[in-house]
Amino acid sequence: MRIVVVGGTGLIGSQVVALLRDNGHEAVAATPSTGVDAVTGQGLAQALKGADVVVDVSNSPSFETEAALDFFTRSAQNLFEAEKEAGVRHHVTLSIVGVDQVPDYGYYQAKVAQEDAVRDSGVPYSIVRATQFFEFIAPVMDMSTQGAEVHLPSLRLRPIASADVAAAVADAAQGEPSNGVRGIAGPEVHRLDRLGEITLAAKPDGRSVVVDEAAGPFGGMPDGVLIGDDTVHTVSTRYEDWLKQN
């Protein structure tokens, strides 16, 4: 199949492209660096010519509410216009577990708008919702560092390796449209402050963790929404094992 991966140079996208190529598909990364801009529509029609499936794993360069909302709504509109023109038969989008349960959180509002556009598009679709990537924990800690203290709230996360997310997205792309949502998560639930301690135990750098419910990108977020429910499919890679290899 010809599978166009919008955001195919990113953390998830580059792994999805590699997995699809390994399975014999013609996987093409469509991003500004390859001449395709989903927000302006530039290069989309050309990239989607002959495409069977489009995978959208792009991300907004800004997490600020208005910028992210503009990114995800404009890119979805352009993508679906081009997909209908090209006769694409399956659209796969990567979203976030619990995204629709946090109405006050700006970036999540933008992802909900993206999901709504997928459902309303008329193109058969599959939505994969993942929990927070292991790779995201260290940047969150860096954003929340004050001197030698890492200020982290105690809400529970159930993080997952990006490789496991990429595998689930690639599986979805090679399967039939579900016209629904599949949630995926890592094997363990940890409080975010504990994830910080586990990270610093594996890679000590002189910092220590302080519980601070208002700090960082997850500050003020209600506990429980990001770990998913019984319907979430869990994978086996543990954070501590992953840290040893990364």
Ligand X SMILES: NC(=O)c1ccc[n+]([C@@H]2O[C@H](COP(=O)([O-])OP(=O)(O)OC[C@H]3O[C@@H](n4cnc5c(N)ncnc54)[C@H](OP(=O)(O)O)[C@@H]3O)[C@@H](O)[C@H]2O)c1
> Which range touches ligand X (CB under 6 A), out of 128-136, 178-186, 211-219, 233-241?
128-136
Residues 129-188 that bind ligand X (CB under 6 A): 130, 132-133, 136
Residue number of the CB atom closest to ligand X: 10
Helix, strand, coil percentages in the chain from 3-state DSSP, rounded to 5:
40, 20, 40
Q: Which is nearer to ligand X, 100 or 149 (CB)?
A: 100
> Which range touches ligand X (CB under 6 A), out of 57-65, 193-201, 213-221, 235-243?
57-65
Q: Which is nearer to ligand X, 53 or 130 (CB)?
A: 130
Minimum distance from residue 143 beta carbon to ligand X (Å): 12
Q: Site size for ligand X, by CB under 6 A?
A: 25
Outline where DSSP puts E strands in the chain.
2-6, 26-30, 53-56, 90-96, 125-130, 145-146, 149-152, 156-157, 181-185, 190-191, 208-211, 233-234
Q: Which is nearer to ligand X, 57 or 150 (CB)?
A: 57
Minimum distance from residue 14 beta carbon to ligand X (Å): 8
DSSP state of 246: -
Minimum distance from residue 89 beta carbon to ligand X (Å): 21
Cα diameter, the chain: 55
CB 121 within 8 A of CB 92: no
Can you tell me the distance from the alpha carbon of 74 to that of 168, in angstroms, rounded to the nearest whole number? Answer: 26
Query: CA-CA-CA-CA torsion for 66, 92, 243, 205, nearest 10 degrees?
Result: -10
Minimum distance from residue 57 beta carbon to ligand X (Å): 5
Select from 57, 48, 44 the least CA-distant residue to 89.
48
Minimum distance from residue 148 beta carbon to ligand X (Å): 25
Can you tell me the distance from the alpha carbon of 176 to that of 168, in angstroms, rounded to the nearest whole number? Answer: 13
Minimum distance from residue 207 beta carbon to ligand X (Å): 21
Q: Which is nearer to ligand X, 44 or 215 (CB)?
A: 44
Residues 23-52 that bind ligand X (CB under 6 A): 31-33, 36-39
User: How many Cβ atoms are within 10 Å of 180's Cβ, its own excluded?
Assistant: 9
Residues 186-245 that bind ligand X (CB under 6 A): none
Q: List contacts with ligand X (CB under 6 A).
A: 6-7, 9-13, 31-33, 36-39, 57-59, 61, 94, 96, 111, 130, 132-133, 136
